[in-house]
Structure 1
Amino acid sequence: MKPPHILCVNPWIHDFAAYDFWAKPLGLLGLAAILRDHGMTVSFLDCLDRFHPRAESPVKVLKDGRGPFRKKEIPLPAGVEEIGQRFSRYGIEPEWFRRDLKKSPPPDIIFVTSMMTYWAPGVRETISVIKEIFPRVPVILGGVYASLCTGHARQFSLADQVITGNAEEQLPGIILDHTGYSFTPKYDFNDLNALPRPALDLVSKMAYAPILTSRGCPFSCSYCASSFLEKRLRHRSPETVFQEIQHWHNIHGVNNFAFYDDALLIHPENHIIPLLEKIIHSGMPLSFHTPNAMHIRQISQKIADMMFQAGFKTIRMGLETADFSPSRPGDHKVTGNEFSLAVDRLKQAGFASEQIGAYLLCALPGQHPDDVARSITAVKEKGIQPVLAYYTPIPHTPMWQTACGNSRFDLEKDPVFTNNALLPCMEKDNAFKTIAQLKALTRK
């Protein structure tokens, strides 16, 4: 039997705001690489493609590879009209997508990924257009939204099948069930070092490359679903990661890399330190960014020095709050002294103040704005940038039920109500004014 043709699709974003902060569908491109590695032909269409051939020229690209998505205002979802802001589809024009689908070789099966739970409307619109062009081709939905809001996805996404969790081990069964084609895996899908590099070569232009050196996180923060999505922490070998970075730089000319890890600095002697040693020794002129928070406690002087030498440009630390009192609610992963030492070490290594940011959780259930304001002040007193991280209620997290009880929206009814732009766990009357004041405080 002839190997099937697989079409992979990255859907539109529907939101109040969106920006390409080193955002690529790494999981979907990983599956594409596995399928291609097993003899199947794979195509990729990206509804978020900033560099689409029909896009206006020149496309804005920052030095670090980031840039704005194209956007088109669309009607607000029902029930969120109170925010009084514009709502948009982020990504390429629908007609461009239709033309791309029609030009694609007829697929035997279509994989669609999903990211934020509250981007569900964009997933639905994407699949609806796919079904206009390929009404008889099975559409398989996976990703974060599919895993965290499985019932909603099965009812509303229009997908023919919704899969949860890591999809690698499910691939042989999915392909067989929907196409009749059988293949035997060449390697253990649980061995991260055996998996091929994600098929980033399928994107239209590589302004940057995402890098994942591990999966999972040893912590179980009350607001985070990482431990639900990944049951254990698994690492790739430093050599495998280095070879991937070297490949994208030498073959595709990529200089900017964004680490997607939830636990980049955990077990440093066997993980990040050997990797940094290889990068420094190579002499490659690279820039690294850490949009996901790094654990403050692991920032030793040695690691800070090596990150600077390796070319790290954007440092983001997971502080959450500058209230270090034992009685404070929430998780206790770092002390005030550890935070202060980490900042001092980064500065001593050579990082400028504007390169270092500390994420502060904001708009949590029951959180008083004064607590956030004090944390902002404390971070600024250390001479670095406070970065507000607005709380998104996420199913399957310890804080989910508390969020449902404190929200003015029915969070369990529709994931669109969990959008952090709505500040769903703050009182409506003063929420947006309060947040505007806090944002202004970060800039003063």
Structure 2
Amino acid sequence: MRIVLVNVPHPAIGSRIPREQLPPLGLLSVGGPLIDDGHCVTLIDGEFGPMPIADLARAVTRLAPDAVLFGHSGSSSGHPVIARVAAMVARALPAARIVYGGVHPTYFWREVLRDEPHVHAVVRGEGEETARRLMRALERGETLGAIPGIAFRKGGVPVATPAAPVIVDLDAYRVGWELIDHARYSYWGGKRAVVIQFSRGCPHLCTYCGQRGFWTRWRHRDPVKLAAEIAYLHRVHGVEVFNFADENPSAGRKAWRAFLEALIAENVSVTLVGSTRADDIVRDADILHLYKKAGFERFLLGMENTDEATLKLIRKGGATSTDREAIRLLRRHNILSMATWVAGFSDQTDADLWRGLCQLISYDPDQIQALYVTPHRWTPYYREAKDRRVVQPDRTRWDYKHQVLAMERMPSWRLFLWVKAIEAIAQLRPRSLRRWIWNPDPKIRHAIRWYYRMGRRVWIHEIIGFLFRDARRDDGRTVEDHFGETQDHEEEASSVPRRARPAPATGAPFHST
């Protein structure tokens, strides 16, 4: 079959402001197995430019594919754009099979199949094996009902097959790196870059997380094989920066240490950036030198808030003392720390936000990323937020970087000003500026200065967007009115075989909250 994978331009992402793009790992992960099955696969990445919607649809139709596969890491905020492009393609190519996968359609398959007649099937959960089976069935004209992990119409009615099992062996499916021109993708200040994954899932129970249930269970790749893949991409394709897409790659200490040691043994000079939990950094205090030697330059620490009561509300499972210690330990090893801080909890006051700013400064992270609480229907937090009022009805703004919910004790514009002020004060305080001026490690110095350049442009862009582009209105609509009833009973997207339920065979511990 001729298959086209489509990455639509994200409608609201701030990181495109510096004109740097990362390749779509999810689509590449599906593309590799499809190529190995003998299909002719092409990727069209609409992020470049970004491509106007009509131009993207024309680029797809010119290839006259038998099947068009849509997916996007932006989840709910990317859905309206995918819906528009898919409809355009369907009008131009009525015989093409349109398939939609990713986090949003996994949980909104009923609405997608009800409202978008041009979508033939939805892939629910992990796509590598399911997409292979689906393409095989479409090519042979076979019934779809025997394929686990999909949704389609039967007699005009949306139906779903049982969940597909989790992929236990992540190395059984390769990433289709040949689908991209590596020279076009960059990050970290113009350095050739890709997105990569060591693990999937997270063993923690944060109630707001829209990714945990999608992956269902924490698993990891073979540490030595991943290290060899990174070395190959660096030596053959000149990739310098590897951005880890994992929610919690270091959850298993034994496997994580094995990966660090394997990469060090490959003897390649690369830059690694990723996300992890503060308690894992503290746990690994004795091996942080391996993090540095392997190439890690920054970790995003999902602290979410500096208030213990809020952390308890969202079942974060961490502690403010651990957060402080993690930042201190990373700085000791000259690894940058980025602290995420979430605003927009309904009962926050000016005093709460001032206290949050003071606590963030006392934590002294190298960088901060301020976000807005954004409930997703399949998470437990949605139950707590379902009666809150929506002030941003545009679903392309449902992305953590835009304020979407009304506050009880302040208007939306005041919360926005607080968030922008917190970002500016935290990054422009004297201690932060001293680090911007000088760092003994030239790679870290480059990383700090690049982030300031990017941050300045995104900060101004978001202010202009809030004042002149974002249409906010409070018409009494609640979150439940906007997105429907809670769906946390369907949070786990994949089934877990009975023998696969224990912790990984590496003996890596699961950290309970």
TM value normalised by structure 2: 0.69
CA 1:159–1:435: 2 relative to 1, 3 Å: same
Alpha-carbon separation, structure 1, partners of 2:96 and 2:356 = 52
* Alignment partner, residue 12 of structure 2: 15
- Report if the CA contact (8 A) 2:200-2:220 is conserved: yes
CA 1:23–1:395: 2 relative to 1, 3 Å: farther
Cα offsets for 1:129-181 (capped at 9, x unmatched): 32243221110001111113222322334422222112233234412332217
CA 1:170–1:416: 2 relative to 1, 3 Å: same
CA shift for structure 1 position 408: 3.0
* Alignment partner, residue 32 of structure 1: 31
CA shift for structure 1 position 430: 1.7
Q: Which of these residues, 358, 363, 374, is aligned with residue 344 of structure 2?
A: 363
Alpha-carbon separation, structure 1, partners of 2:172 and 2:123 = 20
CA 1:327–1:194: 2 relative to 1, 3 Å: closer
Q: What's the secondary structure of 1:394's corresponding residue?
A: coil
Alpha-carbon separation, structure 2, partners of 1:268 and 1:147 = 31
- Report if the CA contact (8 A) 1:241-1:275 is conserved: yes
AA partner of residue 324 (structure 1): E
Q: Which of these residues, 160, 166, 171, is aligned with residue 194 of structure 1?
A: 171
CA 1:181–1:36: 2 relative to 1, 3 Å: farther
- Report if the CA contact (8 A) 1:22-1:258 is conserved: no
* Alignment partner, residue 120 of structure 2: 160
Q: Which of these residues, 286, 289, 300, is aligned with residue 302 of structure 1?
A: 286
* Alignment partner, residue 74 of structure 1: none
CA shift for structure 1 position 283: 2.4
Q: What's the secondary structure of 1:14's corresponding residue?
A: coil
* Alignment partner, residue 295 of structure 2: 311
Gaps of 5+ in 1: 50-69, 71-90, 183-187
AA partner of residue 303 (structure 2): L
Q: What's the secondary structure of 1:406's corresponding residue?
A: coil
Cα offsets for 1:405-436 (capped at 9, x unmatched): 0123698xx85574545522223962122222
Pairing of 1:132-147 with structure 2 (within 5 A): 132-147=91-106
CA 1:349–1:172: 2 relative to 1, 3 Å: closer
AA partner of residue 345 (structure 1): L
Alpha-carbon separation, structure 1, partners of 2:290 and 2:20 = 24
Alpha-carbon separation, structure 2, partners of 1:196 and 1:328 = 38
* Alignment partner, residue 45 of structure 2: 46
Cα offsets for 1:229-272 (capped at 9, x unmatched): 12211111101211221121111110010001111111112x22
Alpha-carbon separation, structure 2, partners of 1:371 and 1:408 = 22
Aligned-residue RMSD, C-alpha: 2.8
Matched, 1:227 2:212: yes
CA 1:48–1:418: 2 relative to 1, 3 Å: closer
Pairing of 1:171-182 with structure 2 (within 5 A): 171-180=131-140
Alpha-carbon separation, structure 2, partners of 1:17 and 1:357 = 16
CA 1:379–1:422: 2 relative to 1, 3 Å: closer
- Report if the CA contact (8 A) 1:217-1:262 is conserved: yes
Alpha-carbon separation, structure 2, partners of 1:326 and 1:382 = 17
Alpha-carbon separation, structure 1, partners of 2:24 and 2:246 = 14
Gaps of 5+ in 2: 143-164, 187-192, 426-513
Alpha-carbon separation, structure 2, partners of 1:95 and 1:370 = 48
Q: What's the secondary structure of 2:276's corresponding residue?
A: coil
CA shift for structure 1 position 197: 2.9
Pairing of 1:1-400 with structure 2 (within 5 A): 4-15=1-12, 19=16, 23-49=22-48, 70=49, 91-94=50-53, 96-104=55-63, 106-114=64-72, 115-157=74-116, 158-180=118-140, 190-204=167-181, 205-207=184-186, 208-269=193-254, 271-290=255-274, 293-299=275-281, 300-324=284-308, 329-351=313-335, 355-384=336-365, 385-400=367-382
Q: Percent identity?
A: 20
- Bigger relative contact order, structure 1 or 2, given CA contacts below 8 A and separation 6+? 2
CA shift for structure 1 position 226: 2.4
Q: What's the secondary structure of 2:47's corresponding residue?
A: coil
- Report if the CA contact (8 A) 2:392-2:405 is conserved: no
CA shift for structure 1 position 360: 1.1
TM value normalised by structure 1: 0.79
- Number of residue pairs matched by the alignment: 388
AA partner of residue 89 (structure 2): I
AA partner of residue 317 (structure 1): L
- Report if the CA contact (8 A) 2:276-2:302 is conserved: yes
